[in-house]
Amino acid sequence: MKHLPLPPGAGDGVILRQCGKLGWGGRRSLWLAAAARYHKVGGNPWRIKPAGFTGADATALSGLYDSRGSSGPIARIRRPATPFQSCPMCGSLGGRSLDHALPRSLFPEFSILHENLVPACTMCNSDEKGRTYRGVRRPDRFIHPYYDRWASRALWRIQFEPDLDMLQFTPVSLPTLAHRRRRIVDFHVQKLLGKEWRDSVRREWGALPAKLRRRVGASPNVVAMRDELKIRLQDAIDCYGINCWDAGFLRGVLANPAVVTELILRIHALPA
Ligand SMILES: [Zn+2]
């Protein structure tokens, strides 16, 4: 969840070079038109249809990623010289991979278009997301890091259910965002943050009272607790980015007075 500049190698050069190769020139005009549409609508899956490559054409286009995906310019999108603070798609600290914003199974013409290749962690690329690339209703879709400039702001937090012993929670968009963006962020976080994220929230929640006690003492008041949580939030943002998992977690804690009160009770209940 982060805005990224377009990667090196974005643009028509990829297509023009490939179409200069023997047997590829016939795909050129349709392929360039599809790429132009992609740029125009910023990869928005509600505003673009598959170009219509079928059969051997589709297989050849899709297969380009198999031969090119792990080396050269495409590998550098995955692993830039300056490492990402956290996964640009989900905010985890997980391993590096690449995701096709529009899946190459449906859009083989974008299989090696750099604009369609988004750095993501291995969890983002897992089975949980599968071939999902948009929701069932407009505007539900994933954030596109190259085109959604507004994604550089704080976007989400955890929402805790009232019974904190049960510890049920959901990732949600921040209420300060515009309605349409909230729909996109809600779709994005609720599709991408899966089991690994839930496990990490449970670990963080379990360890938090002891961590806080070391900073604010055994009998903190609400003001001291909030001040410490805000410092922890800023530390997380500085180190891992404004939409990293820790930042979403701590924004959710700070947004809910009942959660802060519960943490004070849990600090009191810790063994001396
Ligand atoms: Zn991720």
Report how far ligand 1's centroid is from the alpha carbon of 96 (Å): 8
Report how far ligand 1's centroid is from the alpha carbon of 151 (Å): 15
Report how far ligand 1's centroid is from the alpha carbon of 270 (Å): 34
Of 256, 253, 194, 191, the closest CA to residue 228 belongs to 253
Distance CA 272, CA 18 (A): 68
Report how far ligand 1's centroid is from the alpha carbon of 105 (Å): 21
Report how far ligand 1's centroid is from the alpha carbon of 41 (Å): 24
Report how far ligand 1's centroid is from the alpha carbon of 245 (Å): 10
Report how far ligand 1's centroid is from the alpha carbon of 225 (Å): 30
Please say whether the beta carbons of 53 and 128 come within 8 A: no
Neighbours of ion ligand 1 (CB under 5 A): 87, 89-90, 92, 120-121, 124
Q: Taking the complete model, does pTM exceed 0.85, yes or no?
A: yes
Q: Which residues contact 158 (CB under 8 A, 6 or more apart)?
A: 169, 170, 171, 172, 201, 248, 249, 251, 252, 253
**Tens digit of each residue's pLDDT, the chain (272 residues):** 999 999 988 999 999 999 999 999 999 999 999 999 999 999 999 999 999 999 999 999 999 999 988 878 898 898 888 889 999 999 999 888 899 999 999 999 999 999 999 999 988 877 666 678 999 999 999 999 999 999 999 999 999 999 999 999 999 999 999 999 999 999 999 999 999 999 999 999 999 999 999 999 999 999 999 999 999 999 999 999 999 999 999 999 999 999 999 999 999 999 98
Report how far ligand 1's centroid is from the alpha carbon of 77 (Å): 15
